[in-house]
């Protein structure tokens, strides 16, 4: 989950898509944002570096399983972030180990999961690159903000560039609307602009819903807290669409 912009619904999509994927497979959700919002979406808060992703990035001998929070939701384990991740990343950047750090940290865990969902912060900086370097596929989102279309275009260029550098082989599997306001024209205009870019626009549009901010307070993504709602159905459909786009299930 990646975008050059913040506040566009990335963490909400990551949490709900992870919960949706966990209905049919074992999922690890990984927070690669020092603002630690993905963990908070499930009510998980790390106390410091030692019980969060930073510990694994900093010291390759730390037992990854000991840092993972098990069964935070049905079928779903979570590797939380903590603000100290910022300092760990700065340190690793200085020694040259940052780009491959997330990939190295997750390697011992991969055999236990069918899907790993990584959430990143709203930039295309070095920590985001470390997450992309660990990923097979990248999903991005747009909203009614025209800047979010530009964000998707920039992300596509960023991936292209880092594939050239052989920092990653991840491909952009989809661009989805994370906050679709049926009444407003703006999101429609942004979708129209994106359709002309040739980027892989997904058909699922997550509706604007008051249930989403409430779910953060309730510490349960809507897929879990309001499973029969329209917005939960949209996240489940998005997860299905991503599985098809990544080739994990046939169309
Ligand atoms: N479909 C939606 N309907 C209503 N509010 C949403 C929706 N998706 C996200 N939000 C709200 O938008 C804000 C930003 O979402 P978030 O997922 O944290 O974005 P990001 O991770 O890109 O910064 C949050 O307050 C979240 O509750
Ligand atoms: Mg976020």
The pLDDT > 70 percentage for the chain reads 100
Query: What spacing in Å lies between the alpha carbon of 13 and ligand 2's midpoint?
Result: 9
User: Given pLDDT bands bounded at 50, 70 and 90, which one contains residue 148?
Assistant: confident
Q: Which CATH superfamily is domain 10-245 in?
A: P-loop containing nucleotide triphosphate hydrolases (3.40.50.300)
> Residue 207: its pLDDT value, please?
96
Distance CA 59, CA 99 (A): 15
User: pLDDT at position 185, please?
Assistant: 86
126 pLDDT band, cuts 50/70/90, is very high
What's the 101 CA to ligand 1 centre distance in angstroms? 28
Span 85-112, pLDDT tens digits: 999 999 999 999 999 999 999 999 999 9
Whether the predicted pLDDT of 56 surpasses 90:
yes
pTM exceeds cut of 0.95 = yes
Cα(168) to ligand 2 centroid in Å equals: 22
pLDDT for 182:
84
Mean pLDDT score of the chain: 95
Contact 176, 206 (CB under 8 A): yes
For residues 157 and 164, is the Cβ–Cβ distance under 8 A? no
| pLDDT of amino acid 159 | 97
61-70, 167-176, 177-186, 231-240: least confidently modelled range: 177-186
Nearest CA residue ID for atom 5, ligand 1: 212
Q: Is 214 in the pocket of ligand 1 (CB under 6 A)?
A: no
**Cα(97)–Cα(89) distance, rounded to whole angstroms?**
9
The pLDDT, as a whole number, for residue 218 is 92
If you average pLDDT over residues 116-121, what whole number do you get?
98
Q: How confident is the model at residue 187 (pLDDT cuts 50, 70, 90)?
A: confident
User: For residue 17, what pLDDT band results from cuts at 50, 70 and 90?
Assistant: very high
């Amino acid at each position: 989950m990646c975008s050059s912009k913040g506040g566009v619904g990335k963490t909400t999509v990551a949490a709900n898509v992870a919960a949706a994927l966990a209905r049919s497979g074992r999922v690890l959700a990984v927070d690669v944002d020092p603002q630690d919002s993905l963990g908070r979406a499930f009510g998980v808060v790390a106390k410091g570096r030692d019980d969060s992703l930073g510990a694994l990035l900093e010291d390759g001998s730390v037992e990854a399983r000991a840092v993972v929070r098990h069964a935070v939701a049905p079928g779903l384990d979570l590797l939380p972030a903590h603000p100290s991740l910022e300092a760990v990343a700065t340190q690793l950047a200085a020694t040259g180990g940052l780009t491959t750090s997330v990939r190295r940290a997750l390697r011992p865990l991969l055999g236990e999961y069918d899907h790993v969902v990584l959430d990143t912060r709203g930039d295309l900086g070095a920590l985001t690159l470390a997450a992309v370097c660990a990923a097979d596929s990248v999903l991005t989102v747009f909203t009614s903000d025209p800047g979010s279309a530009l964000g998707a275009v920039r992300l596509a260029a960023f991936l292209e560039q880092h594939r050239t550098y052989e920092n990653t082989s991840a491909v952009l599997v989809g661009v989805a609307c994370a906050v679709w306001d049926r009444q407003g024209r703006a999101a429609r205009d942004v979708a129209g602009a994106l359709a002309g870019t040739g980027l892989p626009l997904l058909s699922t549009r997550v509706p604007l819903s008051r249930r989403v901010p409430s779910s953060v307070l309730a510490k349960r993504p809507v897929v879990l807290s309001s499973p029969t709602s329209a917005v939960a159905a949209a996240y489940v459909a998005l997860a299905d669409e991503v599985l098809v786009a990544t080739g994990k299930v046939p169309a």
